[in-house]
Structures are given as structure tokens and as C-alpha cells.
């Protein structure tokens, strides 16, 4: 069968369990194909069974070899690879998806305001599908699918997402019944859109449930104040979730501007201000980094995990805090 130029190719051998079932039902249940994609294959693509044209509604037999193909001009052809331009590190790539380490100060995808420079436009001239998204100023691991099928399958499952964050103040363990083993606590506060804003969100009872687990990895305390390094695991993935949850608990992120320490009460601001102003020249974004990512491959089902250490600006803050907190308190300026 000629498949050159085709974009997405799904191959499946029918088992005894599916003998006599409709081809479309087998594809959707066994390969994870969405009903929308099945419709596109029917209208614009091709389904063959044992190298012969086959209608999606017709039955298949045990042992049949099914091949569904579908293409769009905007999606990346099989065999095409992304260009690791602008020093963007690609940790994994095949015909279905890639995992990249996004630097800070870069959009994941073009913005609604017309800004086109972004991670996906840097990596490819074709249409990439962000399965997970990171804020412009957040660095770290992100998944980009190469076609609609991979996007749909990966997006259906719950991915493992760990972040490193530097926040102001001293955290204490606060476990609950929903806190996973080995984690120190859980923040369970609903998040919704801030009225009148396209970008901003807020903690509100009318919002959607948002759950963040945290582990206290290190704390720096000096005369100017305290900074804590947290390992964070997301159970839900609301917009600005970590940033909002840290602010809501009185521990805004270092470098944060949208949900920063100036949004706290006057008394809380007084406690944070000296260290916040001292550290502000060292980082021009929120100190948040997606450090670990786990998912299942959309075709093989293999479990894959990836790790990315924090970037230079994040490390610079920690190095500075190590030095600052070793100086006797009576000589700190």
C-alpha cells in the first residue's frame, strides 16, 4: 500500500475478541482514536483492511490488518523532525510527539494578540499541538503532539507533573486525607476567572476544584526573611494554579509579578518586603520550573519519564541564598 505523504498512520491487528465488530468501533476502542478523527478518516483519509479499501462501518475479522491514514497540510509528516533552534533542548521525539525543555520568557504558542514568536513556531513550520502548557515565564518540560490523534490520546490520561518553586516564607507540613504518601501537604482551593480579565484568575468558591500537593525540600532563613524551595505535584491543571495557591496561602513565588507579594495584606508585605526587594535584581520572572514529567506513549503504551534541572536564573537565586544565610545575622545588610 502506498502511504507516502500521509501524515498519521495507525495500524492494528484484529483479535478474536473483536471478530465481527465494526471497524470504527475497533479503532476507537483499541487505538484510542477519537470519534472526530474517525469521521475525518472516513471523509478525508483512508482505511484499508488487508491492503484493500474498507468502510468504517463494515465488520472486520480476527487477524485482519487494519491501517487508517489521515493527513492535513498543516500537520507534520511522518519522519519529519523538529529543529532544535534557539537553544531549545528536545529530550524526546518520534513520529507522534516530542518533549522539550522550554526556556523562560517564551510563549508556548502564539498569543491571541498576534505575537507569533513561541516554542511551537521556533521548533517547526508545521502545526504542533501543546498537550500541556506553561506560562510564558515558567520554564521546564512540556509535551507537544505532532498530530490530532496523539494529542487526543495523551490528553485523555493524567500525566505526572512535578514542579520546583521558590516561595517566600516558612512552610509547615499540613497533610490531609488527600495528601499522597511522602508529601508534606495539600492545597485544595477552587480557581476561576477574575471578572473583567482575560488573563488573570482568582481563588473563588465559584471556580473549579484545584488541588496542589507539596513537599518542603529546603528553607533559607536570614534577617531579611525566609525562602522555601518546594517540590510540587499537580493533581489538577488549572490556569496559574501553583502561583495562585502559593499566594492564597501567604507564600507568593519569588519573582512573581501578577500574583506577587504586593497582593498580600500590609502586615504580610512588611515581613516579605526586605528579602523580596533584595532578590528582585536576580530574577525577572516567577521562580517556577517544570522539572519532571511522566506519561504513556500514545501508541505503544510504554511509560516514559523525563527530568530537567532548573535553569541558570533559578540556580542563581539558590546560590545567593546559600551565601546570604551563612553570614552572621548582625552583619547582613
Q: Which residues of 118-144 are buried (b: 16+ CB within 10 A; e: fewer)?
A: bbbebbbebebbbbbebbebbbbbbbb
| Whether 18 contacts 41, CB under 8 Å | no
Sign of the four-CA dihedral 246, 250, 251, 256? positive
DSSP for 81-99 reads ----GGG-EEEEE-SSEEE
Q: Please state whether beta strands 52-53 and 46-49 pair in parallel, antiparallel, or not at all (unpaired).
A: antiparallel
- 267-270 long-range contacts (CB < 8 A, ≥24 apart) are none
d(CA 274, CA 284): 17
Q: Given 18, 135, 313, 322, which residue is catalytic?
A: 135
Backbone angles phi and psi of 200, in degrees to 5: -75, 150
For this structure, is 322 an active site residue? no
Query: Which residues are marked as active site?
Result: 135
Amino acid at each position: 500500500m502506498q502511504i507516502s505523504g500521509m501524515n498519521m498512520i495507525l495500524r492494528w491487528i484484529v483479535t478474536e475478541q473483536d471478530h465481527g465488530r465494526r471497524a470504527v468501533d475497533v479503532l476507537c476502542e483499541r487505538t484510542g482514536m477519537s470519534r472526530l478523527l474517525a469521521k475525518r478518516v472516513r471523509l478525508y483519509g483512508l482505511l484499508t483492511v488487508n491492503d484493500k479499501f474498507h468502510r468504517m462501518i463494515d465488520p472486520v475479522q480476527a487477524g485482519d490488518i487494519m491501517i487508517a491514514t489521515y493527513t492535513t497540510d498543516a500537520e507534520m509528516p511522518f519522519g519529519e523532525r523538529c529543529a532544535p533552534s534557539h537553544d531549545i533542548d528536545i529530550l524526546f521525539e518520534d513520529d507522534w510527539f516530542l518533549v522539550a525543555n522550554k526556556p523562560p520568557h517564551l510563549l508556548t504558542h502564539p498569543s491571541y494578540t498576534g505575537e507569533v514568536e513561541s516554542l511551537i513556531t521556533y521548533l517547526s513550520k508545521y502545526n504542533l499541538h501543546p498537550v500541556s502548557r506553561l506560562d510564558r515565564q515558567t520554564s521546564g518540560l512540556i509535551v507537544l503532539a505532532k498530530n490530532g490523534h496523539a494529542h487526543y490520546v495523551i490528553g485523555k490520561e493524567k500525566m505526572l507533573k512535578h514542579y520546583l518553586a521558590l516561595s517566600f516564607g516558612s512552610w509547615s507540613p499540613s497533610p490531609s486525607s488527600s495528601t499522597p504518601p511522602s508529601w508534606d501537604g495539600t492545597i485544595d482551593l477552587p480557581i476561576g476567572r477574575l471578572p473583567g480579565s482575560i488573563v488573570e484568575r482568582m481563588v473563588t468558591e465559584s471556580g473549579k476544584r484545584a488541588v496542589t500537593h507539596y513537599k518542603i525540600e529546603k528553607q533559607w532563613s536570614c534577617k531579611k526573611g525566609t525562602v522555601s524551595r518546594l517540590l510540587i505535584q499537580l493533581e489538577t491543571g488549572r490556569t496559574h494554579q501553583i502561583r495562585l495557591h502559593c499566594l492564597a496561602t501567604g507564600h507568593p513565588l519569588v519573582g512573581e509579578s501578577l500574583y506577587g507579594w504586593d497582593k498580600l495584606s500590609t502586615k504580610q508585605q512588611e515581613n516579605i518586603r526586605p528579602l523580596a526587594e533584595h532578590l528582585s535584581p536576580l530574577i525577572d520572572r516567577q521562580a517556577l520550573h517544570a522539572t519532571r514529567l511522566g506519561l504513556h506513549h500514545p501508541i505503544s503504551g510504554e511509560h516514559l519519564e523525563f527530568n530537567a534541572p532548573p535553569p541558570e536564573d533559578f540556580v542563581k537565586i539558590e546560590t545567593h541564598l546559600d551565601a546570604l544565610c551563612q553570614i552572621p545575622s548582625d552583619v547582613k545588610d
